[in-house]
Amino acid sequence: MAPGRLGLEGKIALVTGGTRGLGLAIAHKLASCGCEILLNYAGSGEQAEKAVAALGEHGGTVTPVRADVGTPEGVATLLRELRHRHGRLDVFVHNAANYTPMPALAPDPGGAWRDLSVALNPLLHGAPALAELMPRGGRIIAVSSTGAHDVVPGYVALGMAKAALESQVRYLAVELAEHGITVNAVSTAKLDKGDSPPPPAVALLAARTPAGRLTVPEDVADVVALLCAPEAAWVQGQVIRADGGLGLRA
């Protein structure tokens, strides 16, 4: 196996919310491992063009697919495009998220349902098609956050959505195991977005992290890629926390 390739050469990988931030870092990592990438996005076409150009340096095929995965129609569009172009899928990374800040005592129901829809619809509506499209050895990986279990101010809607997503991962893991498909999640805390100087709260979290700094998107992308490797076939229905040990602090 070539260094850094993880046995993923020629695999077809789809990343939702893949044109910026953590999604783009995951797409970069999988492309560098030899995957052909389908890059899902719902917003800016210009941002998607930049992402495709950046990923093109790895030499593989990168195909942008615009679809709002918060809707059943968007999920159907995404999977229809996948079936048309490749006829199969080896890796599905569900990274897309919607965040509507709100306190629990003054909720925005519309925003909360949007957060839940983006978190749950891809696997809720896509599971039957994924079971058909994925060969044995397929990988489904959802991106979660520590807000699924820890109380973060203003994070109630997305926290509920991520908690539900983690439950969805466990149920799918049991039903897809007989198909040879693993389903797991990678969770992380606050990400370092490179602000200089960092906001006081970010600096405080970095100081509390045993590894000495906040998590960066590439840290999470590395764990996602490891779960895609053949050697990870026996990891099933787990939520892997990639936070440099921050969650261990009392």
Enumerate the H helices of 101-241 as residue ranges. 109-133, 156-176, 200-208, 217-228
Which of the residues 11, 29, 41, 155 is marked catalytic? 155
Q: How far apart are CA 189 and CA 170, in angstroms?
A: 21
* Catalytic (active site) residue 193: no
Number of H helices, E strands in the chain: 7, 7
Rg of the chain over CA atoms, in angstroms?
Answer: 17
d(CA 65, CA 45): 10
Question: Among 99, 162, 171, 193, which one carries the catalytic annotation?
Answer: 162
69 contacts 42 by C-beta, under 8 angstroms: yes
φ, ψ (nearest 5 deg) of residue 117: -65, -45
* Whether residue 162 lies in the annotated active site: yes
List residues with catalytic annotation: 155, 162
